[in-house]
Structure 1
């Protein structure tokens, strides 16, 4: 009896003991530093943190800064097309791979390869590709198309879309992999039953399979929204936020004001606004998903 009781206690407490260091580290290094950043945003901190409360002054400075509003607007110009491209093209790639074609393994590796690269490498590679002197322009000119011009990197109105192209190239394969996992989870009998009823393959996907993948769409949207808001190193390598501030994003603004301009309090306030943006995206999505799950029961 005693050994059995000891074994029961071990089974009960061992998982908690194993997880305790990870939970403690998360509380300190994630939530603890979020709390510290929030406090610094209410102080007069500049190059070094000051912990004396100073009210909402840093937030007033933030909201009065035109570069912040440019960065916030760029977040929309970047995030909406980025998420739309990744989800649209990723779903099409997943449906293609779901046909069990011969080269599925090779194609899947090709689609996923960009995700294995760091954002710095991706940004540098696309900077070479889009550079008018050595990239796509030069290749087209060497092929005889002398009038071809693609100078979006130097155009303040289009530079942000260069970031969209690079980010979508890197993340679309990941979205495709998640969609493919969802498609492979659909019962094959669904296809057979629909085909017996005379439904074509596009109709089956459009009216039966894709609507049943709502949780997968939710997960992909959640991940891509998170990538959108925290995008930093890709912009640094590709455009450095330029020309001027035309491709600056909130993460770039936060880093610049915190470490380059010695306005740590303003940078902390920008960080908290990014956190608020993430929460504003996540909470409605999670509510809608949980509500749909409850209604489906």
Structure 2
């Protein structure tokens, strides 16, 4: 074998050899642990892993749990309101910045700043803001509005909406950036032609520009839905699932069952359902993206 042939083979195999350990470890710690979690969900595991196969018993217990049903209800409320308001606010801010207003760069930075924070920081900050003894209610009382009340954080019926407020504040800037990128990709000649035909600017946006952003709407919906299903750190920092378990979501339910209540099998079952839900959202999106890229 000549030296040039050996050099070519080395150049071909060296990247694979270098990447092989990372690939193997990633496969084991991601897909291996997913498979292990799946098996724990059909086992008799409680405080410690127990590999006795019990079939779908953990899932039956899960769907009979009142706390799990509350978590699903909260996830539905949070997802609908979080996704809806984040998209509306983000689109409004994007349309506002698309008017080539002054200080656009400064405003864009301000709107995007919350996304630079972690959900832990966001949850902690809004916990202070909405605390009746420290935040908005206390401030209004000091200003003389003694009858003002804003105790959603400690109200079991309203606490989930405080999570929505914090989540929208965190993500609206990110949604704005996605829509603004889509708006800047639209040919300005289309807008000028519509204006020549006598169409007003609001009508142009409602009838022409916004409908052309369907791919951006779809991508944004997928990202926000993924964030909503995985909402753990925001809930834990803001309400810790309380009062009681009034703001539990599947992610916090899984953590509580697996690590605080010694119900590993039950926690694994809830985690498996969350994984299936995320896969049901992400897989069709990836399929559509790959299919469009091949055309």
Fold equivalence (TM over 0.5): yes
Q: CA deviation at 1:51?
A: 2.6
Aligned equivalent of 1:215 = 215
Residues 114-164 of structure 1: CA distance to partner in whole angstroms, max 9, x if unpaired?
111111111111111111111101111111111100111111110000000
Q: CA deviation at 1:10?
A: 7.8
Mapping of residues 83-102 of structure 1, within 5 Å = 83-102=83-102
Aligned equivalent of 1:224 = 224
Q: CA deviation at 1:11?
A: 8.1
Mapping of residues 89-238 of structure 1, within 5 Å = 89-238=89-238
Q: CA deviation at 1:293?
A: 9.5
Residues 10-44 of structure 1: CA distance to partner in whole angstroms, max 9, x if unpaired?
88767656655554343222222111110111111
Residue aligned with 1:110, SS: helix
Structure 1 window deviating more from structure 2 (199-208 vs 158-167): it is 199-208
Q: Say whether the 8 Å CA contact 1:258–1:264 is kept in structure 2.
A: yes
Residue aligned with 1:210, SS: helix
Partners of 1:31 and 1:150 lie apart in 2 by 45
1:242 and 2:248 aligned? no
Partners of 1:185 and 1:80 lie apart in 2 by 28
Q: CA deviation at 1:48?
A: 2.0
Partners of 1:43 and 1:100 lie apart in 2 by 60
Gap runs ≥5 in structure 1: none
Change (3 A) 1:144 1:231: same
Structure 1 window deviating more from structure 2 (280-289 vs 260-269): it is 280-289
Gap runs ≥5 in structure 2: none
Mapping of residues 27-66 of structure 1, within 5 Å = 27-66=27-66
Partners of 1:44 and 1:123 lie apart in 2 by 35
Residue aligned with 1:54, SS: coil
Q: CA deviation at 1:284?
A: 5.5
Partners of 2:234 and 2:216 lie apart in 1 by 26
Partners of 1:216 and 1:15 lie apart in 2 by 36
Aligned equivalent of 2:277 = 277
Q: CA deviation at 1:64?
A: 1.5
User: RMSD over aligned Cα, in angstroms?
Assistant: 2.5
Change (3 A) 1:65 1:143: same
Q: Say whether the 8 Å CA contact 1:218–1:289 is kept in structure 2.
A: no
Pairs aligned (count): 294
Partners of 1:98 and 1:184 lie apart in 2 by 8
Residues 74-110 of structure 1: CA distance to partner in whole angstroms, max 9, x if unpaired?
1001110000010000001011111121211111111
- Normalised to the residue count of structure 1, the TM-score between the two structures is 0.90
- Normalised to the residue count of structure 2, the TM-score between the two structures is 0.90
Partners of 2:3 and 2:144 lie apart in 1 by 83
